[in-house]
C-alpha cells in the first residue's frame, strides 16, 4: 500500500465573483518518485531536458484535474531545439502520471509541434489535436493549448518550492482580473479572493509497465531471433512510456 506521502494532492478551487478555476499542487512527491525511477534504471538527462520533462508532468497533472475523472490524456511534443521528443501521459482514475524523453533518432522539425490525445469511456473514439507551439517551456504551452483545444483561456504559473498553478477561465470570467494575474497574486489568492475547494485528486509518478506487458511488442521477431539478438544472449528494451529498462533473453521469446 502506498502512503499518502507518496502522492501529490491537487486541489480544484473555484474563485467566486471572478468565475475562474484554480488548480494547484505541490509536486515534490511526484518529483521524488521520478528521480528514484531514473536512478533505478540508470537514466540521466541534462538539466535543460530534465526541467522540460518535470514541467510537462506538472502541467499534465493540473490539466487532468481540470477535466472529468474518466479521461486519460497523452501529450507528445516534437521540439527543434533542443532536438527531442517529449512524451507524458496520465489518468485521474489510475492516479498516475508518467513520461519520458527521446533524444536518439529524432527527426528535426522546422517548427515545434504539440500533439494531444484524450480517451474516455464516454468518447466513441480518441479526441486528438495538433498545434504548433512557441518556445520550449511547457508552462507557456498551456495558454496556447487551451486557446486552441479547450476553447477557453488558461494560464499556468511556477511558484516557489515546486508548487504549480493552473488558472482556467469559466463562463463570465473576469478577464481583466484574469489577465492581470502574476505569481504573487496567484500565491495569495485565498487571502485576496473568496474561494471554495471543489475537489482534491492525487497523483504519483507511476507507469505500471512490466516485462510481461512489453514482451508482446517483440512477438514479430520470434522467428528471427538471430537478427534480433545477433551475437548476444540478451538484449535491453525500454518501456515506450517511462524508459524503464528490461533484459530480454532468447528463451523468453522462444
Same domain? 184 vs 243: no
- Distance (Å) of CA 204 to CA 28, 73, 84, 91: 10, 15, 24, 10
Same domain? 96 vs 217: no
pLDDT, tens digit (0-9, with 9 covering 90-100), for 138-189:
999 999 999 999 999 999 999 999 999 999 999 999 999 999 999 999 999 9
Nearest to 207 by CA among 96, 122, 107: 96
pLDDT at 221: 80
Three-class SS state of 102: strand
From 205, 229, 245, the end of a domain falls on 205
- Mean pLDDT score, 116-121: 95
Q: Where does the pLDDT of residue 133 fall: very low under 50, low under 70, confident under 90, or very high at 90 and above? A: very high
Same domain? 162 vs 216: no
pLDDT at 2: 57
Same domain? 80 vs 62: yes
Pairing relationship of beta strands 84-91 and 72-79 according to DSSP bridges: antiparallel
pLDDT at 229: 85
Same domain? 19 vs 61: yes
**244, 41 Cβ separation under 8 angstroms:** yes
Which structural domain, as residue segments, surrounds residue 239? 211-253
Same domain? 24 vs 97: yes
Same domain? 168 vs 234: no
pLDDT at 3 over 70: no
pLDDT at 1 over 70: no
The enclosing domain of 94 has a CATH number of: 3.55.30.10
Asked, as a colleague might, if the bond just before 82 is cis with ω within 30 of 0, I would say: yes
Same domain? 248 vs 169: no
In the chain, what's the furthest Cα-to-Cα distance? 69
pLDDT, tens digit (0-9, with 9 covering 90-100), for 198-242:
999 999 999 999 999 988 888 778 778 888 888 888 889 999 999
Three-class SS state of 195: strand
pLDDT at 57: 98
pLDDT, tens digit (0-9, with 9 covering 90-100), for 10-55:
999 999 999 999 999 999 999 999 999 999 999 999 999 999 999 9
Same domain? 13 vs 74: yes
Single pTM value for the model:
0.93
Same domain? 31 vs 126: yes
Cα–Cα distance for residue pair 6/178, rounded to 1 Å: 33
Place of cell 493552473: 166
| 45-52 own/partner pairs: CB under 8 Å, 24+ apart | 45/101, 48/82, 49/82, 49/84, 49/101, 49/103, 52/84, 52/86, 52/101, 52/136, 52/137, 52/138
Is the model more confident about 179 or about 5?
A: 179
* Number of domains the chain contains: 2
Nearest to 241 by CA among 219, 201, 210, 218: 210
Nearest to 63 by CA among 36, 119, 15, 24: 24
Same domain? 226 vs 195: no
pLDDT at 65 over 90: yes
pLDDT at 76 over 80: yes
pLDDT, tens digit (0-9, with 9 covering 90-100), for 91-116:
999 999 999 999 988 888 889 999 99
Three-class SS state of 54: helix
Three-class SS state of 28: helix
Amino acid at each position: 500500500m502506498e502512503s499518502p506521502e507518496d502522492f501529490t494532492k491537487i486541489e480544484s478551487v473555484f474563485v467566486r465573483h471572478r468565475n475562474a478555476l484554480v488548480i494547484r499542487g505541490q509536486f515534490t512527491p511526484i518529483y521524488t518518485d521520478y528521480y528514484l525511477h531514473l536512478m533505478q534504471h540508470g537514466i540521466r538527462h541534462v538539466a535543460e531536458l530534465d526541467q522540460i520533462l518535470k514541467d510537462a508532468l506538472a502541467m499534465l497533472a493540473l490539466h487532468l484535474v481540470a477535466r472529468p475523472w474518466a479521461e486519460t490524456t497523452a501529450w507528445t511534443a516534437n521540439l527543434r531545439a533542443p532536438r527531442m521528443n517529449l512524451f507524458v501521459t496520465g489518468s485521474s482514475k489510475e492516479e498516475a502520471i508518467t513520461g519520458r524523453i527521446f533524444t536518439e533518432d529524432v527527426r528535426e522539425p522546422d517548427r515545434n509541434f504539440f500533439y494531444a490525445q484524450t480517451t474516455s469511456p464516454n468518447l466513441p473514439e480518441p479526441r486528438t489535436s495538433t498545434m504548433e507551439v512557441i518556445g520550449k517551456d511547457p508552462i507557456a504551452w498551456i495558454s496556447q493549448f487551451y486557446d486552441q483545444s479547450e476553447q477557453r483561456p488558461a494560464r499556468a504559473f511556477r511558484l516557489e518550492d515546486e508548487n504549480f498553478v493552473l488558472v482556467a477561465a469559466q463562463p463570465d470570467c473576469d478577464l481583466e482580473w484574469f489577465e492581470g494575474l502574476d505569481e504573487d497574486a496567484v500565491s495569495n489568492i485565498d487571502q485576496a479572493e473568496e474561494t471554495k475547494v471543489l475537489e482534491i485528486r492525487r497523483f504519483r509518478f507511476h507507469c505500471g509497465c512490466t516485462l510481461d506487458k512489453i514482451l508482446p511488442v517483440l512477438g514479430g521477431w520470434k522467428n528471427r531471433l538471430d537478427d534480433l539478438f545477433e551475437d548476444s544472449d540478451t538484449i535491453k528494451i525500454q518501456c515506450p512510456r517511462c524508459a524503464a529498462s528490461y533484459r530480454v533473453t532468447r528463451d523468453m521469446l522462444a
